[in-house]
Every structure is written in structure tokens, then in C-alpha cells.
Amino acid sequence: MALVDFIKRFEPDKKNKYAHTTYDAFFTFLFTPNTVTTGGVHMRDGMDLKRTMIHVVLAMQLCYVFGTYNIGHQHFVAAGQHLGFLEGFHLKLAHGLIQLLPIFIVTHVVGLGIEFIFAAKKGHAVEEGFLVSGALIPLIMPPDIPLWILGVSVAFAVIIGKEAFGGTGMNIWNIALLARVFVFFAYPTTIAGDEVWVSGFESLAPGAAADYGLAHDVFNSLFGWMDLATFNSAATVVDGYSGATPLGLAYNGGWSAVTEQFSVAQMFWGTIPGSIGETSKPLVIIGALILLATGIASWRIMLSMLIGAITMSMIMNAWGATPFMEVPWMYQFYMGSFFFAMAFMATDPVTAASTNTGKWIYGFLIGFIGMIVRVLNPAYPEGWMLAILFLNTFAPLIDHYVLESNIKKRLARA
């Protein structure tokens, strides 16, 4: 018996809406649709929406692996232990998993739970859009975010930002960014400042105790049995540690303040505090190349966003009114989440401009405006989240004027 026939034996009656919606979601996750359009000339391709989304999720996996480990690395740097990147490998990976798994689980339980309820109520299959949003949200959150705040932000983003507009393909804002911006405005102290980027301590004040729980005790038992180093419950934050990110340092003291604490190599490879998935530039770029190679993301948006950011950075360098403005334009890309926003956020095909000319305008304005927000915003030294959501709003207008311009040119030629 084929596997598909075995799984079909468990298909519930369609009258049971919730059970059948759940079954259909998992069935279409495992198998490509076997129905095709008949009549006329049509292209047939197994690359349906769900598999397109899965390719995007796969492109993020290196960010997940590195982000998990970096959570643990930053924790032990704050404690003054295992300072080499690969020292205490098992402890850093274990601590990262302890922090990341609850974030991932809460995101998907809340988000998918809402998706299942709305799908059953509407009487259609579960839509695929949350596959990408659910994978993105953990990567753009700080590792120490309270789980109840995360749950509220995900519920807000899915209900207000997506289902209220009609579901997958109908939303006008990027859902993952909407969850983050909700936290930014509703609970700003949990996503801004120095303390949120390093997990596992009561605070980052010198001498603050490590906050280990039951999961750490379980790993200690395992590591003790294997005769490996264990989590030390007496660990405290070392004197002089701040947890500041390069962007926070640059805002207050310019590039010299950044390089006093972090090397260019650290910022490039990502062994710095920050959002879980955005710190390692090479791994994010690999993800971007995967999206370009598969044709899922638009190279026009990526390139124009890069040009816009460089243009505004050079203008800031020429102005030079603050230390942050004087940061050489090329070093702006070593700090913060530009590449992650460019690869996985700005290129969202639902919320981005859809015309080719519109994509150039859309991407350029994100880079241009995002750099303004990053450098001049006194509350939060980063700008891509707000710039992308702002341009999400104007993407339909950009496409409208591009189409109107094309129509006028054709009429003039006629």
C-alpha cells in the first residue's frame, strides 16, 4: 500500500470542519496536489504555494542554526565564561535551544491555531502564508522576549494584519514585521535597549545572577553523565559588561565606539548581540542567494534597496552632524539587520510592489528611508522594520502610477 493511500484512510468526514481542516493541512504539506486544470493550454508545475513557502523557510535554516548557538555564546560572554566562540560548545547550544524552542513553539501554536480556526470557520483549507511568517518571527525577536508578549503580538499580527483583510495573499503589511512592530510600540522596553539581546540573567547589571531553570538542570544531568562541563548556577554578569549592540554604540559614540568593543570580523560573522537570526551576514546572504536562484525573491528589490541605503549613507557622511552620521557608509552594513530585511522582508511578494519599475522604486525608498530612520531616530537605532511597513502601505500606489505611466506612453505612441 502506498503511503498516500495509508494516510487517506484517516481522512475525517468533511462535516467535521475542524478535524478535516487539520487533516487537509497536514496532507497537503506532505503531498503535491494531484488535480490539474483541464482544457486549453496550461502549464503544470509541482511548485505550488506551499512548496514555494517551504523553500523560503529552508533558506532561513542556517540563520536558525547560527542564531541558536549565538544565543548561548552571548550568554556565556556576559558571564565571562567560555569566551572563545567554540569553547563550551555543548553548553552554548543547549542554552540556545532552551531559549529559542519556546519562542518557536509559542509563535506557531498561537499563529497556526488562529489560522486553523479561521480556515474551519470559512470552510476552506488552511492557507500556507504562516509557514514563512511563523519561521520569520522567532528570528526577528530578541532572545529574552517574554513569551506572553510574543503570543499577544503574533495574535495581533495574524488577526488584524491578515485575517481581517481576507487571509493569505490579501494582507497589505508583512505579518512578521507587524508582530515585531506591535511589540515595539506596545512593549518597547522588551525590544529596545541593551538588556534584551542577552538571555539567561535576571538583569545585565554587574553581579546579576544567572537565571537557570528546570531545562538547564536536565541538561546538567546529561552533561554530568557524559563528563562534560555543566551550567554553573553561581554564574553572574561580569563587571563592565553592557550587552550593547553595535548600533547602540554607534548612535552614542560613532564608529570608534563600536570598534572599541567589537571587531569588524565579529560583526561580519555575527558573534554579537542582536535579534536571533539577523547577526551573521554571510549566512543571511546565502539565504538571499537561495531565494534568487529559485526565483522566489526579486533581485530588483534587493539591488535597489542596497543602492538606496548606500545613497543615504553617503549623504549622511557628507553631512556629518552626529557621530552616527560619520560612520563610513560601507560599515553601516556590518551593523544591524539590513541584509536580513533585504532578503526575507522587503522581497515578500504579497506586500511588495509587483511591477518591475515599481520594484526599483519600492526597494530604493526602503533603503533610503530606512537609513534615515536608523541614524536620526532617537528612540531606536534601526530603521528597516518601519521603512518596509511604510513602503508596504504605498506599494499599491507605486504600482498604480507605474501602470498609469505605461498606459499614457502607449496611448501617446498610438
- Give the orientation angle of helix 147-161 with respect to helix 130-139, to 10 degrees: 150
How confident is the model at residue 41, as a pLDDT?
A: 54
Can you tell me the distance from the alpha carbon of 169 to that of 351, in angstroms, rounded to the nearest whole number? 8
Can you tell me the distance from the alpha carbon of 226 to that of 228, in angstroms, rounded to the nearest whole number? 6
- For residue range 125-161, list pLDDT tens digits in order: 666 668 889 999 999 999 999 999 999 999 999 999 9
Q: Phi and psi (nearest 5°) for 201?
A: -135, 150
| Range in 12-21, 49-58, 267-276, 380-389 with the lowest mean pLDDT | 12-21
Joined together, the cell numbers standing for residue 285 give 546572504
How confident is the model at residue 35, as a pLDDT?
A: 61
By the 8 A CB rule, do 223 and 90 touch?
A: yes
Confidence of residue 33 (pLDDT cuts 50, 70, 90): low
Higher per-residue confidence, 367 vs 51: 367
Task: Decide if pLDDT at 47 tops 70.
Answer: no
Can you tell me the distance from the alpha carbon of 102 to that of 104, in angstroms, rounded to the nearest whole number? 5
Averaged pLDDT for residues 203-219: 92
Confidence of residue 124 (pLDDT cuts 50, 70, 90): low
Q: What is the mean pLDDT of the chain?
A: 88
Count of C-beta atoms within a 10 Å radius of residue 85:
15
**pTM, to two decimals:** 0.88
Can you tell me the distance from the alpha carbon of 19 to that of 263, in angstroms, rounded to the nearest whole number? 54
